[in-house]
Amino acid sequence: MTLRLGDIAPDFEAETTEGRIRFHEWLGGSWGVLFSHPRNYTPVCTTELGYTAKLKPEFEKRNVKAIGLSVDKLEDHHGWSKDIAETQGASLNFPLIADADKKVANLYDMIHPNASDTFTVRSVFIVDPNKKIRLTLTYPASTGRNFDEVLRVIDSLQLTDKHKVATPVNWKQGDDVIIVPAVNNEDAKKLFPQGWKELKPYLRVVPQPKG
């Protein structure tokens, strides 16, 4: 199953380190970051889970819930959690799905046979409160993900959902943004009374809107 941006994220039930969940119910009115790991007790995954645990205050500020997945049994997850806390200085503080039957992995197309027909690749899905998929990323097993980039994309999505702007290359919170081309100059004057810098008629730069 190929999932595309704008698709409804498939719902599922699964055992996790925080009990059995139904994904959509667990998300509630929050944004979600669902990300997969090739397997337990692997070095790159251990660093990723530790860093994600440290980011919990940042996720909470943005109304985001994180949830991981690995194609191993629940008892293995609990043992691995101790290693994560010991080596990364942060205890697992979000659910980790036990997907030994690969039900969720197959539902989200996380297994790429030409890379490995056994383990999941490093997939990332950002899901909004309407349960729509807003971002997909796929990393090879050997490359750890940049979770600061995940936060940056969430900031962009939440900003651009609220205001009629887009974020330019390498944008980060507080930087200037771009008025979307669909907004004509007359309407832009009402939305951005402070004015903007017009580099081209289609490229109008404005300070990041507040709120």
Which residues are catalytic, by number?
Answer: 45
CB-CB neighbours of 184 under 10 Å: 9
Structure tokens at 173: 């919170």
Q: What whole-number distance in Å separates Cα of residue 95 and Cα of residue 151?
A: 18
Burial 94-132 (b: 16+ CB within 10 A, else e): bbbbbbeeeebbebbbbbeeeeeeebbbbbbbbbbeeee
Nearest alpha carbon to residue 183 among 201, 159, 170: 201
Tokens of 175: 């930087």
In angstroms, the Cα distances linking 34 to 29, 137, 160, 189, 210 are: 15, 11, 21, 39, 29
